[in-house]
Amino acid sequence: MKFIKSSLAIAIAVSSATANANIATTTAESVERITVRGAFFGQDSADSLKTPTALVNVPSSLTIIDAAQIEQQAFTSIADILQYTPGASSGQGEDHRDQMTLRGQNTTADFFIDGLRDDVQYFRPLYNLERVEILRGSNALLFGRGGGGGVVNRVSKTADTSESFTTINAALDTFAAYNAAIDMNKAIDDNQAVRINAVYESMENHRDNKEGDRFAVNPTYSLFINDDTKLTLSYEYVNDERVIDRGVPSDGSGPLRGQDETLFGDPDFNLTTFEGHIARSVVEHNLSENWSINGTLQYADYDKLYQNYYPAGYDADTNLVTIDNYIDPTQRQNLIFQVNAVGQIETGDIEHTILMGAEYGDQDTANKRDELRFNGSDKFTVELNGPFIIPTLEEQRNTRDRASNVKFTSVFLQDEAQINDWLILVAGLRYDSFDIDVVDNVALRNDSQGNFARKDTEVSPRFGAIVKPNDDMSFYVSYSKSFLPRSGDQFLTLNLNSEALAPEEFENREIGMKWNPTDTLAFTAAIFEIERENGSVVDPTNPERSLLTGTTTDGFELQLVGNITDEWEINAGYSYLDGEEMGRVVDGVESNRTLSQVPENMFTLWNNYAFSDKLSVGLGYIYQSEQFTSLSNAVELPSFSRVDVAAYYQLNSKTSIQLNIENLLDEDYFSAAHNDNNITVAEPVNARVSLSYTF
């Protein structure tokens, strides 16, 4: 109802604006792909759209964080980027993976690299990226299963034949964490080039024994076979090892205070390791003046381990913290092939941009879970502020041992039809066939049913209408759907009960406007509603189980991005989210609970002002309102505000230095949670000095 009322209000405004607009009788605006110039906030189109559509003509919300902004704000993680994205927030992810909530939908798997799935659980580095694109709203047409609230697509750097350069970056912060990175591009000739990006990071922060390191390297090779054909080869290796810190427990209603530095674990045991190999080949070919095609083949091999002690509760009467544990290794191999064709045709006076494509994937996963047992239990207690004493180990028990094979095949078709100078219609369908086989070895060892299989076929639509009073303004309405098979976003949870259940379904209804008041400034606004049917959420009484429920999220977003003046750049965003269960009844009374880890109000602001060609300063502000840590609605993270500042100085044509200070006012706050008793203590004031040298 909220969405309908809001939609009617904006529809009236759209009609009024359209009726009063002076519609020019010019030809349809060009949809040529805009070359990325690397200018701050200068992106005009997005790879995640798969078509060269100008952002003002896209009927959905999309945020783009480019390499310049990543460097300027000293971002080092996906979580950093999400902090400055309307409608998005980061979760703790048990401190071993990226986890996010987009428009009320929590996920560990809706991550993509150059448009292909990157769905294993790990922390994704940012060293080799041109930009990060956060596309919000359910949209299986472009990405297939999942993505109920949106997706994050990382666009990687590739070898460039236009120039040769080398850039070296190094940084050091207050807690002695440091990193060093290199970006080296060599143009061999006019038709081929090689590029190598590499990074080493040493991790430290304010928490006891919280340390680790990561190394990653990504060589690429580009070859223009002829004027119409380009080949790109890429390989990435990531090696990450760090101490796991799942934060502090609650006192029953909020985070347990006074434990800003305490690790409720053993630094010799609380460990996650990750090793990833990702190889990719891309062929792009112009079939004609109006048609192009691209094909990508990717093979990825991931080896992941995490093991941890973590707080599972606190008793104020006894002053004891309950400690739980497990060991969890995962191996996954992904083979994915994707082909897209984009063309422009005319039918009478109507111009069409056609997108058609297909995707095939084969994913093998093996996952186990072991528990350490002490006196017949996997739990023990330690005294708060006392030594972390581990009881005598009794045994190591295997509680989960599953293997799955997923094969998926997809075909899709979309038409962007420019009806006239002021109206664009978008319509498309995607067909997905998702076939999964799961073997539960624990059940088989216990002489129980352990072989499960399910095949789902889904058709996902996307519809949109864009009304353009002029070239720089658009109003839109859109409807899109997505689905998630019952095996979950990591496709390992299939059992006798879920095997018979239909996939989760997500519906996104959205109405919004986009306006470019100048060539360098963009304003967007959107009102939306996402309904989730047959949803799966974490059971607040047992975080290792799931509950089935429906949910709904209503909200709106505002964002202003670009240059207000030649000297002043800005990125401001606000979102309002109202998420709750649907149809929960207790004792005959409707008792819907508020969704967890969904702040009702989020506001972010980043400014950069150039005083001269050499000196500029940055000022940022983040606000998040209170949020529940789980569906129990028993524990609440307090609201918080954070101020960030930065200064940049160009020493000479090759060398620059910058200072970033996060949490300038030393706010004591809790940034994320995984459940009621795993709550992240945010960093106090932290300064980072970075040096960059290019030759």
Q: 638-668, pLDDT tens digit by residue?
A: 999 999 999 999 999 999 999 999 999 999 9
pLDDT at 149 over 90: yes
pTM, two decimal places: 0.90
What distance in Å separates the CA atoms of residue 657 and residue 549, rounded to the nearest whole number? 51
What pLDDT, on the 0 to 100 scale, is given for residue 483?
Answer: 92
What pLDDT, on the 0 to 100 scale, is given for residue 668?
Answer: 96
Q: Residue 487: which pLDDT band, with cuts at 50, 70 and 90? A: confident
Which whole number is the average pLDDT over 661-684?
96
Q: Residue 602: which pLDDT band, with cuts at 50, 70 and 90? A: very high
What distance in Å separates the CA atoms of residue 103 and residue 257, rounded to the nearest whole number? 29
Which whole number is the average pLDDT over 626-630?
96
Exposed/middle/buried for residue 493 (C-beta within 10 Å: 0-12, 13-18, 19+) = middle
- Output the DSSP codes for 140-207: HHHH-S--SSEEEEEEE----TT--EEEEEEEEETTS-EEEEEEEEEE-SSSEEEEEEEEEEEEE-SS
What distance in Å separates the CA atoms of residue 658 and residue 561, rounded to the nearest whole number? 22
What pLDDT, on the 0 to 100 scale, is given for residue 387?
Answer: 94
Which whole number is the average pLDDT over 446-459?
92
- List, in order, residues 6 or more apart from 16 with CB less than 8 Å away: none
pLDDT at 23 over 60: no
Which whole number is the average pLDDT over 564-573?
96
Radius of gyration of the chain (CA): 25
Share of the chain above pLDDT 70, in %: 91
31's tokens: 């949809």
Exposed/middle/buried for residue 442 (C-beta within 10 Å: 0-12, 13-18, 19+) = middle
What distance in Å separates the CA atoms of residue 440 and residue 445, rounded to the nearest whole number? 9
Task: Evaluate whether 153 touches 129 at the Cβ level (below 8 Å).
Answer: no
Three-state secondary-structure class, residue 393: coil
pLDDT tens digits along 301-353: 999 999 999 999 999 999 999 999 999 999 999 999 999 999 999 999 999 99
Domains and CATH numbers, the chain: 2-694 (2.40.170.20)
**CA torsion sign, 347 to 511 to 548 to 110?**
positive
pLDDT at 163 over 70: yes
What pLDDT, on the 0 to 100 scale, is given for residue 172?
Answer: 98
Q: Residue 19: which pLDDT band, with cuts at 50, 70 and 90? A: very low
pLDDT at 391 over 50: yes
- Count of positions (residues) in the chain: 695
Strand partners, 571: 561, 606
Nearest residue to 43 via CA among 621, 618, 571: 571
What pLDDT, on the 0 to 100 scale, is given for residue 537?
Answer: 57
Which whole number is the average pLDDT over 17-30?
33
What pLDDT, on the 0 to 100 scale, is given for residue 538?
Answer: 58
Q: Residue 536: which pLDDT band, with cuts at 50, 70 and 90? A: low
pLDDT greater at residue 546 or residue 26 = 546
Q: Residue 56: which pLDDT band, with cuts at 50, 70 and 90? A: very high
Q: Cα-flanking dihedrals φ and ψ of residue 67, to 5°?
A: -60, -35
What distance in Å separates the CA atoms of residue 71 and residue 39, rounded to the nearest whole number? 12
Share of the chain above pLDDT 90, in %: 84
Strand partners, 35: none
Three-state secondary-structure class, residue 307: strand
The residue behind tokens 């008792």 is: 591
What pLDDT, on the 0 to 100 scale, is given for residue 47?
Answer: 86
What pLDDT, on the 0 to 100 scale, is given for residue 45?
Answer: 73
Which whole number is the average pLDDT over 239-243?
98
What distance in Å separates the CA atoms of residue 567 and residue 610, rounded to the nearest whole number? 5
CA distances 400 to 153, 312, 367, 569, 663, Å, are 31, 20, 8, 51, 41
Strands (E), 207-319: 211-226, 229-243, 271-286, 291-315
- Output the DSSP codes for 12-27: HHHHHHHHHS----PP
The average confidence (pLDDT) of the chain is 90
- List, in order, residues 6 or more apart from 429 with CB less than 8 Å away: 141, 412, 413, 414, 459, 460, 461, 462
What pLDDT, on the 0 to 100 scale, is given for residue 546?
Answer: 56
Task: Evaluate whether 531 touches 550 at the Cβ level (below 8 Å).
Answer: yes
What pLDDT, on the 0 to 100 scale, is given for residue 4?
Answer: 39
pLDDT tens digits along 78-137: 999 999 999 999 999 999 999 999 999 999 999 999 999 999 999 999 999 999 999 999
What pLDDT, on the 0 to 100 scale, is given for residue 543?
Answer: 59
What pLDDT, on the 0 to 100 scale, is given for residue 21?
Answer: 36
pLDDT at 596 over 90: yes
CA distances 45 to 35, 131, 289, Å, are 9, 12, 20
Q: How many CA atoms lie within 13 A of 450 on its CB side?
A: 14
What pLDDT, on the 0 to 100 scale, is given for residue 674?
Answer: 95
